Homo-oligomer: A and B are copies of this chain.
Amino acid sequence: MTAHVGCPGFRFAGVRGGIKKKAGLDLGVIAADRPVATAAVFTSNRVKAAPVVLSQRALRAARGKVRGLVVNSGNANACTGPRGAADARRMQALAAAAIGCAPGEVLVASTGVIGEPLPMDRVETGISLAGAALTETGFAAFADAILTTDRRAKLARREVRLGGRTITLLGCTKGAGMIAPNMATTLTFVVTDAAIAPGALAAATRAAVAPTFNAIAVDGDTSTNDMLAVMASGRAGKAPLAGKALAAFTAALTELCADLARQLIGDGEGVHHVVTVQVKGATSARAATAVARRIATSPLVKTAIAGGDPNWGRILCAVGNAGAAIKPERISVWLDDARLCAAGARAPDHDEARAAAVMRQPAYTMTVDLGVGRASASYLACDLSHEYVSINADYRS
């Protein structure tokens, strides 16, 4: 099963250092055989955890070529002041020694409780164990080590034929606000054996993230630690991808990210329904996205999803709050193929029982046609349930 747990050019480890209070792996390392093209996107939150600040600088200084990364779960190393910055640098240096490279060639990520200093003795133990455990088939263990209160590991794999060669993409992600509210939140790592220049990889990564990880909403709170990194070993080809092959790679990366993003939403404790919010007929893609995001983050829409209530008035209320150009009298709303609203009012064929049946499904599509243009956008939303409140109100840091 090497095919499912590895990718040529990389070794992985996931071990337990004891950083997490509960049982489970909490320290992961990815090591490339040599400096490889690497791209990453980081949280837009202006309060950034120490590892985020450090990794952004390292990636820039290394001009998009690094040897590896180290990640711990159980502690976010966020809002930890100068000590947190020093701890992140120490993690980087320890991991570099384990991999056998310079500290500047290692990215650092953390996820967990905010505001507590890292237990560095346990981090050291973990990195030392991980260094000894690095193996080509260790991706599944690595994917386990980044989890916090996730119910299951979230992995995805894609293969794509490019110029007579098969390129592999392998990724994992962890935990949304819904499950890990105080855990600072989304981490995603992708490895591939594609040969690709750092600049092209950065562009492909941005393109892949926009309609996937940047188009999901749990509670609208962007964490201090979010990070997604893609490392490309180049083992599957000599010449860097370009033209059509690069486009095909970008498409495969986008598909992989969409797969992971959907798993991420679906794994939330308290999430019983994953709803694709499809907005069309907008004057611009920006307007369509604004409307989709507003619907996906509206507490009133999300509680209606939880309750299975086909309350289209709340959907129109959210549309009107998005700040986008609309004409209320042109809006139509469907749940799957059950039309609720036409011309901004109750549809003549409105069938509450049929719509309620759609909403009992674990996954369905909410379509909103604004009727004023040709642009569209899609967002993944979920319910706001009692469990969400319990998890977030009763959680003690």
Residues of A with Cβ closer than 8 Å to B? 44-48, 76, 78-81, 83-84, 113-116, 177, 181-182, 184, 219-224, 298-300, 303-304, 306-307, 309, 311-314, 316-324, 326, 328-329, 331, 341, 343-346, 383-386, 388-390, 392-397
Contacts and interface: CB of A to CB of B under 8 A. Distances in A.
Given A343-B81, A345-B81, A396 B309 contact: yes
Nearest to A345: B81
29 contacts: A45-B317, A46-B322, A46-B323, A46-B328, A47-B326, A47-B328, A47-B344, A79-B316, A79-B328, A79-B344, A79-B346, A80-B346, A81-B329, A84-B345, A113-B313, A114-B316, A115-B313, A219-B298, A220-B299, A221-B300, A224-B316, A224-B317, A303-B388, A306-B392, A307-B392, A384-B393, A385-B389, A386-B389, A389-B389
A306 B389 contact: yes
A376 B111 CA distance: 32
Contact of A224 (B46, B320, B384): B320
B397 A320 contact: no
A224 B319 CA distance: 10
Contact of A221 (B307, B321, B386): B321
A328 B323 CA distance: 29
Contact of A317 (B47, B303, B345): B47
A392 B300 contact: yes
Contact of A314 (B181, B312, B320, B321): B181
Contacts of A44: 321
Given A114-B314, A311-B397, A341-B79, A320 B47 contact: yes
Contacts of A392: 299-300, 303-304, 306-307, 384
Contacts of A48: 320, 328
A217 to B, nearest CB: 11
Contact of A303 (B320, B385, B389): B389
A397 B309 contact: yes
A43 to B, nearest CB: 8
Task: Among A346, A385, A392, find the residue whose CB has the most chain B CB atoms closer than 10 A.
Answer: A392
Nearest to A340: B115
B344 A81 contact: yes
Contacts of A76: 313
A78 to B, nearest CB: 7
Contacts of A306: 389, 392-393
A348 to B, nearest CB: 11
Nearest to A319: B47
Contacts of A298: 219-221
Given A341-B115, A344-B81, A393 B304 contact: yes
Contact of A219 (B79, B299, B307, B344): B299
A312 B397 CA distance: 10
Given A223-B317, A386-B390, 16 more contacts: A47-B319, A47-B328, A79-B316, A80-B345, A115-B313, A115-B316, A116-B346, A177-B299, A221-B300, A221-B317, A221-B318, A299-B388, A299-B392, A303-B389, A311-B397, A384-B392
A397 B352 CA distance: 10
